[in-house]
Amino acid sequence: MCSRKTAFRSTCVAGILLTTIACLNACSGSTTKDPIRIGVIGEESSVAGASLTKAAMMAAEEINAKGGVNGRSIQVITYDNHSSAAEGVRAFQRAVSDDKAVVVLGSYLSEVVLAIEPWAARMRVPFITPGASSNDIPKRVHDDYEHNKYTFQATTMSEFVAQSVCDFSHDVLVKQFHLKNAVVMSEDAAWTKPLDARYLDCLPKAGLEVMDHIRFNPDTTDFTPIFNQIERKHPDVIITGISHVGVQPTVQWHDQQVPIPMAGQSSQATNGTFWKDTNGAADGVITRNTAVPGVALTPKTIAFVEDYTKRYGLPPAYCGYSSYDMVYVVAEAIKRAGSTDPDKLVEALEQTDYIGTSGREQFYGRDDPFTHTLKYGPGLITGVHLQWQNGKQVAIWPADVANGKIAFPSFIKLSAK
């Protein structure tokens, strides 16, 4: 068809290429059987960040096995931000511009999510974080709704985490064990600022006087000075706010036999590998988590944990639960919206009322002080408090899901008054 003359050859090749591209574009535009693309930005080198992408892929496969969404399959495209905000933003841009994702899920690090949030606004693509808990994420949505309405926080935000710890402290530490005072020990990070503020406000109301408030550098490796400082105050309990660190303070608490129990939010202790990572030093540690393996928060919890564990060899991290749920929530929202148009999707996501793996999931609305974060409370999501005992996570609060009683290792001296 093409002339052999060199002058024509390049024109000819270009012509064929153009026609092919035009055809490809037309083809992809004309069929509705194209997959729905969801970008998932994880942190593959951390237990939590890797669980997030795995859980999303599992949900997508399940949905596809049942026929997909309106006859279209869901395709999860994963990215790794290497725990860096700049790489998180680049991954988001790639997901939207190159890979044509209609929704992006991502990250358990507040620093990363806060960097992506304005890009979700600029590129007008719904962005849901299943793990980052800073209050600023939903607060920005509230303060500038028109721009930031594309961002959703599908995890319990810091203030509610603190509230959950206070509710647990009131019901168990104060009422059952008659503890009277506490020291708050938190790492210096974006998510702990609102957490600590709420701790200082609600712990006294729960019946625990706060004797000291210690914030430390997340790079800390030697916690001896911190534990010694705490011990000199003789508190009844240490309330933690830690996520970047976890293994090291726990091991040192155990090896130095610090006689004070630790409760609060210790995110690494929510991982199924924590016992092995600490060589059993985790024994007695209490933390809040989204769910606990073996405890049916909803009819979906146990099946999810079992399937996930069978598939990946270890139980999901806290953000695995919400990442899994959010793929289903997005699928339902697309059905409700009848399209993948970003604004219609945001509207549909706002109407979410979904029984997920960790509770009933609804988002706060435009007029609430924190917009697009998960609603907290009994009947919705409260979280579970668990304690590590003999290599297992045992649920100890709320009472209706507890499957065990608190037991402390022998070096803990409870100052029962």
Partner 1 sequence: MLARQILIDGFAIRALYALGAVGFTLIFGVSGVLNLAHGGIMVIAALIGWFTAGEFGAGPYGGALVGILAGLASAYATYLLVVRPIQRSRAIPKEESEIFVLTGTLLWGIMIQTALAYKFTDNPVTMRPILPGVVTLGGVRTPRNEIMIAVVCWLVIGLVWLLVNRTRTGKTLLAASMNPRGLTLLGFELSRVHLVVWSIYGVLAGLAGVLLASFLGTGSGNAGQLTASAFSIVVVGGLGSVSGSLLAAYLVGYLETLTAYLIAPTLRPIPALILLVLVVYIRPQGLLGRR
Quick one: which of 336, 299, 251 has its CA closest to 69?
336
Contact 223/247 with Cβ under 8 angstroms?
Answer: no
Assigned token pair, 113: 């999510």
Give the distance, in angstroms, between the CA of residue 110 and the centroid of all CA atoms in the same chain. Answer: 10
Query: Should residue 248 be labelled a site residue for partner 1 when binding is judged by CB under 8 A?
Result: yes
Q: Which is nearer to partner 1, 78 or 151 (CB)?
A: 78
Q: Is 311 helix (H, G, I), strand (E, B) or coil?
A: helix
Residues 185 to 204 in contact with partner 1, rule: CB under 8 A: 188
Q: State the pairing for strand pair 74-80/36-42.
A: parallel
Q: In this complex, which beta carbon is closest to partner 1, that of residue 52 or of residue 337?
A: 52
User: Least Å distance between CB 222 and partner 1?
Assistant: 6
Does position 403 bind partner 1 by CB under 8 A? no
Q: Which is nearer to partner 1, 216 or 354 (CB)?
A: 216
* The one among 107, 155, 192, 271 contacting partner 1 by CB under 8 A: 271
Residues in CB range of 406: below 8 A, 6 or more apart: 172, 176, 177, 286, 387, 396
Q: Which of 19, 70, 97, 257 binds partner 1 (CB under 8 A)?
A: 257
Name the CA dihedral angle for 193, 194, 199, 205, rounded to a multiple of 10 degrees.
150
Which one of 98, 143, 255, 306 is in contact with partner 1 (CB under 8 A)?
255
Query: What are the structure tokens assigned to 201, written together?
Result: 């406000």
Q: Using CB under 8 A, which of the segments 69-77, 95-103, 234-242, 269-277 binds partner 1?
A: 269-277
Q: Is residue 229 at the binding interface for partner 1, with CB under 8 A as the rule?
A: yes
Q: Which is nearer to partner 1, 70 or 228 (CB)?
A: 228
**Tokens linked to 181:** 């005072």
**CB 172 within 8 Å of CB 178:** no
Which region among 18-26, 96-104, 217-225, 318-326 touches partner 1 (by CB under 8 A)? 217-225
CA–CA distance from 98 to each of 67, 118, 120, 129, 197 (Å)?
A: 26, 19, 15, 21, 41
Q: Which is nearer to partner 1, 37 or 254 (CB)?
A: 254
Question: If binding is defined by CB under 8 A, does position 273 make contact with partner 1?
Answer: yes
- 298 counts as binding partner 1 under rule CB under 8 A: no
Report if residue 226 touches partner 1, rule: CB under 8 A: yes
Nearer to partner 1 (CB atom), residue 143 or residue 222: 222
222 touches partner 1 (CB under 8 A): yes
How far apart are CB 117 and partner 1 at their closest, in Å?
24
Q: What are phi and psi of 190, to 5 degrees?
A: -60, -40
State the virtual CA torsion across 168, 171, 176, 177 in degrees, nearest 10.
40
- Residues 79-118 vs partner 1: string with x where CB under 8 A? ----x-----------------------------------
Report d(CA 118, CA 167) in Å as an integer.
34
Given the complex with partner 1, which of 119 and 274 has the nearer CB atom? 274
Site size for partner 1, by CB under 8 A?
36
Site string for partner 1, 40-59 (x = CB under 8 A): ----xxxx--x---------
For residue 82, the minimal CB distance to partner 1 (Å) is: 8
Smallest distance, partner 1 to C-beta of residue 311, A: 18
Query: Smallest Cα–Cα separation from 212: which of 220, 200, 222?
Result: 200
CB atoms under 10 Å from CB of 269, counted, come to 28
Binding residue for partner 1, selected from 155, 192, 240, 278, defined by CB under 8 A = 278
* Interface stretch with partner 1, choices 38-46, 63-71, 286-294, 392-400 (CB under 8 A): 38-46
Q: Report the C-alpha dihedral over residues 306, 311, 314, 317, rounded to 10 degrees.
A: -80
Dihedrals φ, ψ of 141, to 5°? Answer: -65, -45
CA distance 9 to 12: 5
The SS3 call for residue 239 is strand
Which residues make up the interface to partner 1 (CB under 8 A)?
44-47, 50, 83, 188, 214-217, 219-222, 224-226, 228-229, 246-248, 251-252, 255-257, 268, 271, 273, 276-279, 281
